[in-house]
């Protein structure tokens, strides 16, 4: 293979940054970089293989694996963080799959935050050591465009999201459809770009009602994150089931 090739014959040896230490545990993070990168920062070397397998299963081919400043980086095929079309759903599924893998490995999400002013940067996921959860179940509700809500990977929650819309969004629902296997509601009006104060208040009550309805079904908010580099990118709510898995 030529030296100019961007591809590697095998994953590089991992010389890790140690997790950030605290009194009774440790913290690591996974950052979503550029349009197609996933970086393990301060993560145990033992996490590389399960995350690699997760990326391949949830997204597909990995173009390159490399070390970047002591972080282990996966460069994915395509542009998952562009958040357009099919990738607006599949990229969120990828993030959920990574969160599940981390929980199974004993790392619980504590925070999703963007501490960078670089244009293409997105949220970084921060994890703390926790008891492994082999039966973790996650669902996502994403807010899209100026008028869409999508329920991802939990069809049983669709009626409870719909009842929240009916209860709190007076203009109503314009249309429903299956969008790349996610259930999408298109609302009348512009809840995510309100034109007047009453609409702004209704949109916030709508979000509060979704939160309450899913909590009543045993799902707690696990994290709120933005995985898109779009300037108008909106958060996705990730819910974690606290009921015993079937």
User: For 100-158, how does the pLDDT look when each residue is reduced to its tens digit (9 = 90+)?
Assistant: 999 999 999 999 988 766 666 678 999 999 999 999 999 999 999 999 999 999 999 99
Cα torsion at 44, 49, 51, 56 (round to 10°)? 170
Q: What is the pLDDT of residue 106?
A: 96
Q: What is the pLDDT of residue 242?
A: 84
**String of b and e for 123-137 (b: at least 16 CB within 10 Å)?**
bbbbbbbeeebeebb
Q: What is the mean pLDDT of the chain?
A: 87
Count other Cβ atoms within 10 Å, centred on residue 36.
18
Q: What is the pLDDT of residue 110?
A: 95
Whether the pLDDT of residue 4 is over 60: the answer is: no
- 81-90, 123-132, 229-238 — most confident range: 123-132
In this prediction, residues 189-217 reach a mean pLDDT of 94
What pTM did the predictor assign?
0.86
In this prediction, residues 174-202 reach a mean pLDDT of 95
Query: Please, are residues 101 and 58 in contact by the beta-carbon 8 Å criterion?
Result: no
Reported as a single tens digit per residue, the pLDDT across 8-54 is 455 555 455 666 665 456 899 999 998 899 999 999 899 999 999 99
3-class secondary structure for 10-78?
A: CCCCCCCCCCEEECCEEEEEEEEECCCEEEEECCCHHHHHHHHHHHHHHCCCEEEEEEECCEEEEEECC
């Amino acid at each position: 293979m030529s030296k100019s090739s961007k591809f590697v014959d095998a994953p590089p040896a991992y010389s890790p940054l140690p997790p950030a230490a605290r009194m009774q545990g440790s913290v690591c993070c996974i950052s979503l970089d550029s349009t197609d990168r996933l970086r393990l920062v301060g993560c145990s070397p033992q996490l590389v293989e399960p995350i690699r397998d997760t990326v391949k299963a949830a997204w597909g081919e990995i173009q390159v694996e490399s070390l970047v400043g002591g972080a282990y980086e996966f460069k994915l095929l395509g542009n998952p963080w562009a958040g357009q079309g099919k990738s607006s759903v599949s990229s969120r599924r990828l993030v959920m799959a990574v969160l599940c893998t981390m929980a199974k490995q004993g790392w619980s999400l504590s925070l999703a935050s963007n501490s960078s002013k670089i244009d293409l940067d997105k949220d970084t996921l921060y994890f703390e050591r926790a008891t492994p959860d082999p039966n973790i179940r996650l669902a996502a509700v994403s807010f899209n465009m100026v008028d869409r809500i999508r329920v991802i990977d939990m069809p049983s929650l669709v009626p409870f999201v719909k009842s929240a819309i009916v209860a709190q969004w007076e203009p109503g629902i314009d249309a429903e459809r299956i969008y790349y296997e996610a259930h999408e509601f298109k609302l009348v009006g512009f809840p995510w770009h309100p034109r007047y104060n009453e609409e702004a208040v209704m949109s916030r009550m709508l979000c509060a009602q979704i939160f309450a309805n899913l909590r009543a079904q045993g799902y707690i908010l696990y994290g709120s994150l933005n995985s898109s580099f779009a300037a108008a990118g909106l958060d996705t709510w990730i819910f974690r089931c606290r009921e015993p898995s079937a």
